[in-house]
Amino acid sequence: MAAPSARCLWRALSPRCGWILPGLEQRLVPAVVSPVTSRPYAAATAKAAKKDAKRGRQEKEKVKEKMKEKPLPRRRPLLSKPVDDVYLTWLYRRPSYELEQAVAMLKRFQELDFTHPKQFVYINVFLDMALPKKKKVEPFSSGVSLPHRFTDEVNKVLVFTENEQEAEVAREHGAAIVGGVELIKWILEDEIQADFYVAVPAIIPKLIPLRNKLKKKYPSTRKNSLGSDIAKMVQFFRECHQYTVQDESVIKTRIARLDMPTEHIIANLKTIIHDICTFKPSNLDPIVQRLVIRSSTSEGLQLNLDGILPQVEKVEEKEEENAGDEDQQKPAQESVST
């Protein structure tokens, strides 16, 4: 029994007395991982991650190469005209109609659907805004006087002038707001707003603070909103039809009422299209690429552009004709002189 008690006593006294058996010190010292010894494992992990990333890139490149080598499925060409009354629309080309035929179809749709006969007629104009040297036509807005009005609504016109006589003329012809530089503050604070802004040349230098505010509505001679004939400008802008380019290359606007005569609807449409074509040089491709007409309750009908776009003679043909005429005139002059 003495031997176990001696062992317990030794275990209790040995740490205090410094009695440590050989090899016991290594077991008592806590193990510490040296950063030097941990570096090989971190390097190996990073190297493995790089290999995995490289392998992934190589696999993606192989997949792309296979996709390039694989021929794309050939799209079935669209058919021209359906034979049956029921057909899949995406298998056929969208039909194009003559303008008179399309208007007649819209009127017929209204009769069959029992919809309101005085509903509006709309057009969607898809534009080609591209110009040479990677430039493009900036989105624009304009007003045009239609030959046949289809609404009693009038636009709100503001006239800038400091001449009392000119201000009186503007009021007589229906200007909603007339004033001078005192209106600048109210316009900048959005207290006064108008559909169109008209000005006389004498006051235009004082309106420079409004240039950034009004932007496209700022008075200018190009838009016929800057001039001396106040009566003519006010009358035009009160009754004109306004349209604006949306989504960079689309114009959506109403042009008439469905109960109007077909000739009136066609005249209004052509007037708007001809005005749109003035925003791109005539020697380039037409700005109008596609034209769709519809009513408030009908589907859209794509129109054939022949006969709708303004006919513009090519400059080269004119020059050739002029050169030919000159060549014909020269022999005649020579014979007369002889």
- Is residue 123 within 8 Å of residue 103, measured between CB atoms? no
Question: For the chain, how many residues are written?
Answer: 338
Confidence (pLDDT) at 49: 77
Cα–Cα nearest to 260, from 153, 149, 152: 149
Phi and psi of 132, rounded to 5°?
-60, 160
Q: Which domains does the chain have, with CATH numbers?
A: 95-139+247-303 (3.30.190.20), 157-240 (3.40.50.790)
Instruction: Give the HSE-up count for residue 59: Cα atoms under 13 Å, Cβ half-sphere.
Output: 6
What pLDDT sits at residue 70? 62
Return the pLDDT at 319.
47
**Residue 123: its pLDDT value, please?**
97
How far apart CA 246 and CA 129 sit, in angstroms, is: 12
Name the one residue in this structure whose structure tokens are 């080609």. Answer: 128
Whether 201 and 226 have beta carbons less than 8 Å apart is answered as yes
Whole-angstrom Cα distance, residue 192 to residue 184?
A: 9
Residues of the chain with pLDDT under 50: 1-2, 9-10, 16-20, 24-33, 36, 38, 314-320, 330-338
- Nearest partner of 251 among 125, 92, 138, 161, judged by Cα: 125
Res 39: pLDDT: 55
Round to whole Å and give the CA distance between 209 and 182. 12
Neighbours of 91 (CB within 10 A): 11
Rounded to 10 degrees, what is the CA torsion of 143, 149, 150, 155? 50
Q: What local confidence, expressed as pLDDT, does residue 54 receive? A: 80
Give residue 76's identity as a one-letter amino acid code. R
For residue 287, give the nearest of 109, 101, 138 by alpha carbon: 138
Q: How far apart are CA 148 and CA 3, in angstroms?
A: 127
Q: Is 251 helix (H, G, I), strand (E, B) or coil?
A: strand
- Distance, in Å, from the CA atom of 92 to the CA atom of 96, rounded to the nearest integer, reads 12
| Per-residue model confidence (pLDDT) at position 324 | 53
pLDDT confidence of residue 315: 43
